[in-house]
Each structure stands twice: as C-alpha cells, then as structure tokens.
Amino acid sequence: MVNRVVLNNQIHRDVRIAATRPTRENAAVNAVTVIPREFPRLLAHYPIFYTKNTETGRFEPSALLGFQPQENLFFVEGRWDAAYVPLQIQRLPFSLMTRRVNESEGKPTLDVALDLSQTVQSPEGQRLFLEDGQPTKFLQDITSMLSALVAGANETYAFTGRLAELNLIEPVQIDIEFVNGSETKLQGLYWIAAAALKALPAAQLAELRDREFLEWMYFQMASIAHVSALVARKNRQLSGVTAARA
Amino acid sequence: MVNTDPRPVRKILIVGGGTAGWITAGVLASRYPRRGEDGISITLIESRLQPPIGVGEGTWPTMRATLKQIGVTETDFLRECDASFKQGSQFVRWVDGGDSDAYYHPFTLPVGYEERNLAPYWLEDPRGQSFAVSMCFQTEACSRALAPKQITTPEFTGLANYAYHLDAGKFGPFLRQHCIDKLGVDHIYDEIVRIEGTDGGDIAHVVTKSGESLAADLFIDCSGFSALLIGKHFGVPFLSKKDVLFIDKAWAVQVPYRADDAAIGSVTLATAQSAGWVWDIGLTTRRGVGYVFSSGHMPEEGALEELKRYLGARGDLSPDLSFRKIDVNSGYRQEFWTRNCVAVGLSAGFLEPLEASAIVMIELSAKSIANLLPGCRGGMREAARLFNDTYRYRWERIIDFLKLHYALSRRTDSRFWIDNRARESIPSSLRDYLEFWRDHCPWHEDFAHREEVFSAASYQYILYGMGFQTHCASWLLNDRDRSLAREKMNETAHYGRALTASLPSNRELLSKVGRYGLQKI
C-alpha cells in the first residue's frame, strides 16, 4: 500500500534514509519514463523509445529496462548496474504532491512527499533536515531532481506532441530471439519515422532544430543501438553468467 | 464508340447545407482533390433561413471511415459535435413488453462470423444466455456504458466495433468549416428562387434571391424535406411506406444530465411504448430523447404524456424541458438520380430513426456518387440507372429490416403492435425471408448485394434477440462446427470479461479525449 506523506521538518527531523536506493520493489519495472534533458546521460546505457502514457495516451520517452513485465535487467544482485540511473528511479521514494489551494489563488503548490511504504530507514542513512529545520544537501538534491522532472514533463509533451502532429512518430515491433531459443515481441513501442523525417519541409526542420527537438530526436534514435546490449544482458542471465559491471 | 455527349462533368452544385449536404461535399471533395482549371469545382449553397433539424443522431460504424476519408481528426469531431461512442442498440420491451424484456444489437459481428455460421449451434444449446451475450464479447461492454477503446488506442480504431452519437446541429457546421478550409469547397449563403432547365430536360442553373445564376453539370439535392430539385422541379413521386412503417410523428426533447459524472450510455436505447418507441441517446453535453409514434394509433397529446411518463420514471421530467414536434414521413423517391440531378438525404427518403439508417444512407449515397461519377455528360444516364437500382434495393432492405422489429413482436397490449403484425403490412420480401429462416439461419448468400446496409449478422441479432425460432435440420449440423461454436462462445465469455475490466467508462474516455485528444497512431 502506498503511504505518501508530505515532508515536514518537525515530524521528519530524525528520519534517515538508507543509502540502498532504489529498492528491489522500486526497480521492478521493465521501462521507465525519462525526460529529454537526461538523454545525453541515458545514451550511454539505455535504449529509449516512445510509449503512450496509459492515463493520457500522450507519447513520452521511456528507457527500456527489460523484456518481460517487471523484468529490470539493469538491477543485478540488489544494485543498479549502470553508471546513470534514470531520474524517475533516482527520486524514489520521494515524489511531489499537489496541494490544492483556493481555486482563485491560481497555481496549486507542490510539496515534497515521501512514500513511507517504500522507505528503508537506517541509523547511518541520509538525514532530510538539519537541526535548525533547513533541508540537507541530500533533500535539496532530491527537490531539484523532482523539479527537473516536472519541467521535463512539460518539455516532453511539447516535444512529443509536435512530433505526433508532424507524423514523425511511428509504431515499431521488435522480434527478439534469445540464446535459449525463446522469443519475444516488443509491442507498444514507437520511434521516429525516419522516412517522414527525411521528407520534412525545411521550415519545419528548422523549427525542430530551434526548439532543441532535433537534437533530442537524434539522441533517442542513436540509443536504439542499446537494444542489442539489452538482449546481451538477458542472454548472459539466461546462460547463468554474471553480468559484467558497466 | 462515340460518346453520345462529350461535355465534361466538372461543376457540381450541392443544394442544402445540412448533414447530407456537407457529408456529400466532404466525400466528393476528398475523393476528387483537384480544383480549378484542371480539376472539378464543388459548390454548396445553403439557406440561412432553414434551421437544421438538430436532434441527437445515431450513426453506423461506417462513419469512422467516412470521417477519416474526409480528413478530419476523431478528436476534433468528438469535441466539436459533442459526440459520444456508440456500440450498438438496446431494445427494451419490444418482445412481450414485460419488465425483463430487453436485448442488444451490438456492432461487433457474432463470433466466428468470418468463417462460419455458428448461429445454429447457439440455437441448439444457448446455455441460458442470450444470443448477443453468447456470440458477442461487446454486449457486456454495452450493458456497462463502457467506451469501445482506451485513451492509448489510436483514433478511429477500437477494441470493439463502434460508431457515434452526435449533435446533428453541430455536425454540419463542423464539416462545413473543414470542407471550406481544407477541401476547397465553395460555399454560398443564399436562397434558391428559380430553377431553369435546358431544352433536353436537364437543370441548366438555379437562380438565387440575390440574383446570381449558378450553373452546374451535376446538381445534388440535399435540400431536405422540401426536395427543391428532385421533388419540386422534376416532380419525381415520393413513395410513402406508411402502410408498412406506421410511425409518422415524433416528440423530441433535450434532457440535461443530472450530474457532471452521470453515465453516458454507449448504446442507443430504444424503449417500446404503446404506439411506437422512445429513443434515448447520450451525447457528452446532454441526452437527446424523443418518442416516435403512429398518430393513427395515438393522438399527439397522448404521446406527449407517454413521453413525459418515460422521463418521469427516470426522474428526468422538469418544467424546463421544451418538447418539439417533428413529422416523420416514411418512404423514398421513385427515382433518386434523374437527368443531371441526384438526391441525397431527406430529399431522397426518410424512415423512422430505428436502427439509425438516415446518416448511413447519406454516407453510402455520397460514396456511390463519387464512385459512379461519369467523366462526361454522356455517362450520366447509366450512372443514374445503376444508382437508382442500388438505392431502391437498399431502401427496400432497410424497410424490411425495420419492419422485422415489429413483425416479431408478441405484444398484444395495443392496436399499434397488433396491426404491425397484420400480414398485409409486412412486405412480401420480408415474409419470404421469415419463412426461409424457419429452418435456416440468416447468412451472406441470403442477400443479393456485396455491401448490404444490414448484413446477415444484424438479422441474426434481431431475430434471436426477439426469440425467433429457427429449427435447423439435424442432418445439416455436425460435431466439428459444434465444438468450434463451443470454443468460440467460451472465448467470447473470457474475452468479454477481460475487455470490460480494461475499458474506461464512456464518460471517462470522452472527458480524457476532451483534455488530451486521441493519437493518430
């Protein structure tokens, strides 16, 4: 059961978050939503596709982590096996909660919340607040991570919304055969429609360039090469070989 | 061979800007995109004085293909026409009038329909389930007011077959905007005051109130009940079918939802009354409700009272409601295409709204005109002959299909229902079919055309929904098909459960479409 509470420097003054993040439960996903600003760092490890948000149907970039539901091939022996962990995983078990202020007072404010059901505490862990109630460096980092995700979501939907309008996104189905002969079909994934991109009028191409979208598209397209690396991870697992540390 | 008349057919004038006019304009203009000197011109003239009929209307799944061809997005259409998803119809109290008397006609075909006719095996052992529930996974979704798709499903595609309920008053203007902005249709607001013919008998041009003379090679009469060209000018007789379909009047009313989160039904609800039936259609903003009745069986005031009772029983009766009376004149033109004029929509024919045949006939007619459109005037005669043959057939088949709903009723509580079963009121074609179906389940070959408005599947849903008994000869049944039928019915039950668990409600999906839109892919 999710048990989210808004952080409070009195109530949570002595909370210490264990360094073991993400937890096994947090990591049990085969894809994670990412934001364009992460692309340069993600590009070193993960294949990025576009997937549809199940609540809104809108496209968002996702890093593929495994081939079966809840299979995360980057989570090996209790730790994350890549130098960069996607923000959406890093931030856990923290999240932002909307505080509904008066309708008339305009924008709702966002509070940092902690999911207590997913929190491992440890006496040696990271503190959230200093003695004087100010947030620690640790919490400040978490907060800026969460802010980046909020800003990133807005950028994401401007980006993918425009790509969809220009018919630059197309569905892709990838058939994979593993070393033990088993097969899988990756469905519900989308990527850049290369033919449409090639045929795009110059004015629209310039618009994509000016809005940084073109750069993001190329990062994402280049990341597809990691599908074979992901297959290799799976094959190593299937043949009982311990994954090499990235 | 020398073409008898080589004058090109390049100017099309559509008279009337209702649903028929704009669908026809959209279908023709999207099909023939070349304009100007080396293309065709399509002009639509409409009157500002004629308000659209404007009740909520039901469509067939063909509408998805039509909208796609015209080139609008499903999101824009749903948002701007207050449209909702329709997955079929539910008929309440049509069989014996009792409290548990209700059955569905879903849009998805009966299971196995692509391969075999499995209806005989349902008849043999229905296992306590209705035909629609046993043979169609969609029925469960219909009964729960669910959407036919998810927010992640691309536009115009569904997890179950679907059509729309729409606000006809908004649909015309929505298409108008698109036809003018995107498809190069010319648009004129004016009244036609005179129609002038050629010596040969064609229409040469129409003269408008502002003094303009509009010439064309082909005139499409979408002027509604007034039938300016096909009726008033050419005098093509209207064949009344009132002796078969008795309904001739309607009371219509717009009913607000009682709460913002009230369920939006995903079927057209048709509830039989003592002299007709009540339609109940959920749009995103309100419901459209109306009672179509036979004034020969009930006076107008009586019908209004009965409609109010229907609303009252649901807690929907309020003094704010305004009831509007509409005439229903069932029948069609003896000819739809004559000389250089073809009628589409109410000018061509109209039947009571049972099974929502009006808009689908407009779509089909527009498509046929696009397909038959001759390059030169000389080909017009043959195009007209083919069109007339097809559409006479189609109107007759629709009349048979509508009459079927009445002919199979066992209600005895009023003259309306008893008279509807009088032998002389049932077309002989339908009588022959009913005789044939006593030991044969309806199937493709029973019908002459490739593209039937109502296929054998629709007949199966109505016949077996209404308890019609087909006694299939045992020597024509076999174990292979029997076990296939069992397997398919089991699959249907499993899939229906899985699907309903994953589908949002009609209301929920429509509000998400309002907020996020549907993706093209």
Q: Which residue of A has its CA nearest to B513?
A: A56
Question: Residue B141 corresponds to which tokens in the numbers above?
Answer: 């979704």
Which residue among A57, A167, A169 sits closest to B152, beta carbon to beta carbon?
Answer: A57
d(CA A169, CA A157): 13
Q: Please state, in angstroms and rounded to a whole number, the distance separating the CA atoms of residues B212 and A15.
A: 84
Separation between Cα atoms, residue B509 and residue B146, nearest integer Å? 9
* Cβ separation A57–B521 shorter than 8 A: no
CB atoms < 10 A from the CB of B99, how many?
8
Average pLDDT on B100-124 reads 95
With contacts defined as CB-CB under 8 Å, which chain B residues touch A53?
152
Q: Under 8 Å CB-to-CB from B271, ≥6 apart: which residues?
A: B92, B93, B277, B278, B280, B310
CA atoms within 13 A on the CB side of B288: 23
Give the Cα separation of B197 and B199 in Å (integer).
7
User: What is the share, in percent, of chain A residues with pLDDT greater than 90?
Assistant: 65
pLDDT band at A20 (very low <50, low <70, confident <90, very high): low
pLDDT value of residue A100:
66
Confidence of residue A172 (pLDDT cuts 50, 70, 90): very high
What is the structure's pLDDT at A246?
41
Question: What length does chain B have?
Answer: 521
Q: Is the peptide bond before B427 cis (omega within 30 degrees of 0)?
A: no
- H or E element: which one contains A160? helix A137-165
So what's the pLDDT on residue A243?
A: 47
For residue B73, what is the nearest residue in chain A, using CA coordinates? A165
| Cβ–Cβ under 8 Å, residues A33 and A88 | yes
User: Which residue from B151, B512, B521 is facing A169, i.e. has the nearest CB?
Assistant: B521
Distance from CA of B310 to the nearest CA of A (A): 37
Neighbours of B252 (CB within 10 A): 20
Q: What is the largest CA-CA distance in chain B?
A: 74
CA A194 – CA A173 distance, rounded (Å): 15
Q: How far apart are CA B364 and CA B449, in angstroms?
A: 13
pLDDT at B222: 96
- Written in H, E and C, the secondary structure of B124-156 is HCCCCCCHHHHHCCHHHHHHCCECCCCCCCCCC
Q: Which two tokens stand for residue A201?
A: 């009028």
Q: How far apart are CA A41 and CA A29, in angstroms?
A: 20
Both tokens assigned to B105: 């006609």
Q: Length of chain A in residues, anyone?
A: 246
* Contact call for residues A33 and A62 (beta carbons, < 8 A): yes
Residue A48 has pLDDT above 60, yes or no: yes
**pLDDT for residue B243 is more than 60:** yes
The whole-angstrom separation of Cα B20 and Cα B222 is 6
Least confident of B53-57, B198-202, B346-350: B53-57
Optimal mutation site among A49, A51, A52, interface B, most CBs of chain B within 10 A: A52
A57 to B519: CB separation less than 8 angstroms, yes or no: yes
- Residue reference for tokens 């996607």: A86
Q: What is the rounded radius of gyration, in angstroms, for the C-alpha atoms of chain B? A: 23
Over range B28-39, report the average pLDDT: 94
Report CA B26 to chain centroid distance, whole Å.
18
- In this prediction, residue B55 has a pLDDT band, given cuts at 50, 70 and 90, of low
Q: From the list B150, B516, B521, which residue is nearest A171 (CB)?
A: B521
ipTM of the modeled complex = 0.83
Average pLDDT on A221-230 reads 95
Q: Which residues of A touch B516 (CB under 8 A)?
A: 56-58
Q: How many beta carbons lie within 10 A of that of residue A144, not counting itself?
A: 10
> According to the model, what pLDDT value does residue B50 have?
75
Looking at every residue in chain B, the average pLDDT score rounds to: 95
Which amino acid appears at position B463 of this protein? Answer: L
Spell out where A74-158 has E strands.
75-76, 79-80, 94-99, 109-115, 126-127
Cross-chain CB nearest to A52 (options B512, B517, B519): B519
pLDDT at A206 over 90: yes
Strands B163-167 and B84-86: antiparallel
- What's the longest Cα–Cα distance across chain A? 61
- Cβ of B517 and A169 within 8 Å? no
Residue B254's alpha-carbon distances to B101, B139, B288, B323, B354, in angstroms, are: 26, 27, 5, 8, 18
**What's the pLDDT tens digit per position in B203-234?**
999 999 999 999 999 999 999 999 999 999 99
C-beta atoms of A190 and B516 within 8 A: no
Q: Residue B76: name the closest of B507, B512, B504, B513 by CA.
A: B513
Mark yes or no for CB contact A56/B519 under 8 Å.
no
Question: Phi and psi dihedrals of B87, rounded to 5?
Answer: -110, 5
Tokens of B201: 């008998």
CA distance B208 to B221: 15
Q: Are B331 and B241 in contact (CB under 8 A)?
A: yes
Looking at residue A15, what is its pLDDT? 85
Q: Residues of A with CB below 8 A from B518's CB? A: 57
- Arithmetic mean of pLDDT, B248-262: 94
Query: Which tokens is B106 given?
Result: 């879903």
Per-residue confidence band for B7, with pLDDT thresholds at 50, 70 and 90? very high
Least Cα distance to B462 among B389, B390, B381, B408 occurs for B408
Asked if pLDDT for residue B397 goes beyond 80, the answer is: yes
Q: Cα–Cα distance between A9 and B102 in angstroms, integer?
A: 61
Q: How far away is chain B from the Cα of A207, in angstroms, using its nearest Cα?
A: 22
φ and ψ at residue A144, rounded to 5 degrees: -70, -30
Establish whether the linkage from the previous residue to A36 is cis, with ω within 30° of 0. Answer: no
CA distance A168 to B158: 23
Residue-level pLDDT at A245: 45
Per-residue pLDDT for B188 more than 80?
yes
Mutation site for A-interface testing, chosen from B73, B512, B519, B520 by largest number of A Cβ within 10 Å: B519
Interface mutation target, options A56, A59, A168, A190, chain B, most CBs of B under 10 Å: A56
B297-315 confidence digits (pLDDT tens): 999 999 999 999 999 999 9
